[in-house]
Structure 1
Amino acid sequence: MPHLSSRRRRRHPLQDFRAAWRARPVVTTVYLLLRASVILVLIAQLFNRNFENAFLCVLTLLLFLVPSMLEDRLNIDLPNTLEVIILLFIYSAEILGEINAYYVTFPYWDTVLHTLNGFLCAAIGFSLLDILNREERIKVSLSPLYLAIVAFCFSMTVGVVWEFFECLMDQLFALDMQKDTIVHSIGTILLDPTGGNHPVVVKGISDVILVLEDGTQRPLGLGGYLDIGLLDTMEDLFVNFIGAFVFSVIGYFYVRSRGKNKFAKRFIPIVGPAREPDDKAPDDPPPDPSV
């Protein structure tokens, strides 16, 4: 559900929904449409007994709650543009990418999502420090360049950890999350006849034949040599680099302009209003002085 301030926690859910609709109609509409779509896909997967995809649907519904949880726990307000992008990113990765196999159907689907991931993670990393920078109770004053560097490093770290996860899943469960690439030339020291450190270059590879333990030979018929995930990982990290760098530059000039950059404001969360104590609802009547 789009973020509802903790000051409204004790209202009826319908009142919360109406408040969210009035405050953020675009985000609420996108949220409801995507959530309804995921629920329909979930029902279809259950009928087809595809429980793995059903789990992905449930995971997607849970991930949709993350933006509002972050806003509530960190007392921040996500800009509408940023929250819509996060919701669309989750839907594109899990429902379209995994269940509808867009990763296979559209060769650049994964590349676009990794670029967007680099951009979003840089926005999150930048915001975490920028919020401290603007918090009056905390005496922190960081330069725009420092904020940009931290945002960039945060995004790249998230990208690297994700590639670690993909590699782990491929090694443990053979999921091929690090998609293979067909190449036509390789250079490797393993073919050095002297056993030294001199790479032997092999060009014009048109096919590879697998020789199994029982002596069976199986041509792959892929038109080249099968690169196991390396180029895919490097491409993912490179486009993550581009996304992180782009936002870091945007964030840098946002701080330099003291927050006047209207474009950057669409992606940078702001500190929410001060919260009222949890033991007293905002709508409670004032205490009777005669008591």
Structure 2
Amino acid sequence: MEHPKPSGRPSFRTLWREKKAVTITYILLRTSVVLVMLAQIFNRNFENVFLCVLTMGLFMMPSVLERKLDIDLPNTLEIIILLFIYAAEILGEIGAYYVTYPYWDTVLHTLNGFLCAAIGFSLLDILNRHSRARIHLSPLYLAIVAFCFSMTVGVVWEFFEFTMDQFFLLDMQKDSVVQSIGSVLLDPTGGNTPIALHNITDVIVVQGDGTQTALGLGGYLDIGLLDTMEDLFVNFIGALIFSIIGYLYVRSRGQGRFVKRFIPVANTPPVVLSDEQQTPEKEDDKT
């Protein structure tokens, strides 16, 4: 017997009863975004107005995914997603938290690795427990796929940041100031020997028209490399943490209360197959 799919968006009363914490968080964050957008309109900062509109659109993504994929996002996971979007777009970009708090970007990339691993894991886990899928993957395999999915998303995002920096000079891959460098380009013989420079206190930039500018940053300006590698490393940590959580979740057959807070589940209950049903029937040999 097929289970009926949800016919439309649930009512506010239903959301308040089943997802009270999520609804309160959503209302508070959305109200805050609207107030920020009004302030940006008053200041004629239309780029930030666009970010506010984008943020409100992203806020609706969890509920859209629930309806389209017929899944249920745990309240804890949904709240984390909403807070992540607000922290990245409103606080990070408009509030300039990325500049004010050096570790803001690091925390968000760690959380991004965790969330992307949760998405990758859930997609396979739901398929793995579906009676019609005929796929039965081990807990270790699910954890590895979740980890790889998260790292892939992290790499693609760094590709995007690099592209924006190269074509539009947006400095999405934030630069770093270092006091020591080593490069084979400094080898006077033109060989492959890296020449190291230490205790760098300033760098003078000479432009095409002969203008010389001392950067005054207290060292050499690294163009995005350290930021990119740090982002990928903390993404690695977040993905690894969730992969371990997901592995334990499957091993315990979904009994862990803590883990359930981060694992989306299908609204249609999975049908457990018997050993005979899980083994595909062999076709009769044709003579």
Q: TM (normalized to structure 2)?
A: 0.91
> Equivalent residue for 1:273?
268
Q: Alignment partner for residue 147 of structure 1, among 132, 142, 151?
A: 142
Alignment of 1:47 with 2:46, yes or no, is no
1:113-262 superposed matches below 5 A: 113-262=108-257
Structure 1 letter corresponding to 2:117: A
Alignment of 1:31 with 2:26, yes or no, is yes
Alignment of 1:56 with 2:78, yes or no, is no
Structure 1 letter corresponding to 2:123: L
> Equivalent residue for 1:282?
none
Structure 1 letter corresponding to 2:139: P
Q: Provide the C-alpha distance between the structure 2 equivalents of 1:7 and 1:144, rounded to a whole number of angstroms.
A: 30
**Displacement of 1:8 after TM fit?**
5.3
- The answer as to whether partners of 2:6 and 2:67 remain within 8 angstroms in 1 is no
Structure 2 CA distance for partners of 1:47 and 1:222, relative to 1, 3 Å: same
SS at match of 1:81: helix
Per-residue Cα deviation, 1:253-284 (whole angstroms, up to 9, x for no partner): 1111111111111000000138xxxxxxxxxx
SS at match of 1:7: coil
> Equivalent residue for 2:78?
83
Structure 2 CA distance for partners of 1:32 and 1:6, relative to 1, 3 Å: farther
Identity %: 72
Q: Provide the C-alpha distance between the structure 1 equivalents of 2:6 and 2:202, rounded to a whole number of angstroms.
A: 65
**Displacement of 1:153 after TM fit?**
0.2
4+ residue runs over 6 A deviation: none
Q: What stretches of structure 2 of length at least 5 have no aligned partner?
A: 270-287
Two-structure CA RMSD over aligned residues (Å): 1.3
Per-residue Cα deviation, 1:102-148 (whole angstroms, up to 9, x for no partner): 00010100000000000000000000000011111211100000000
Q: Provide the C-alpha distance between the structure 1 equivalents of 2:182 and 2:248, rounded to a whole number of angstroms.
A: 44
SS at match of 1:178: coil
- The answer as to whether partners of 2:154 and 2:232 remain within 8 angstroms in 1 is yes
- The answer as to whether partners of 2:202 and 2:216 remain within 8 angstroms in 1 is yes
Structure 2 letter corresponding to 1:135: H
- The answer as to whether partners of 1:182 and 1:226 remain within 8 angstroms in 2 is yes
Q: Alignment partner for residue 92 of structure 2, among 97, 105, 109?
A: 97
SS at match of 1:226: strand
SS at match of 2:87: helix
SS at match of 2:137: coil
**Displacement of 1:212 after TM fit?**
1.2
Q: What stretches of structure 1 of length at least 5 have no aligned partner?
A: 275-291
Q: TM (normalized to structure 1)?
A: 0.89
**Displacement of 1:151 after TM fit?**
0.2
**Displacement of 1:7 after TM fit?**
3.1
SS at match of 2:81: helix
Alignment of 1:7 with 2:6, yes or no, is yes
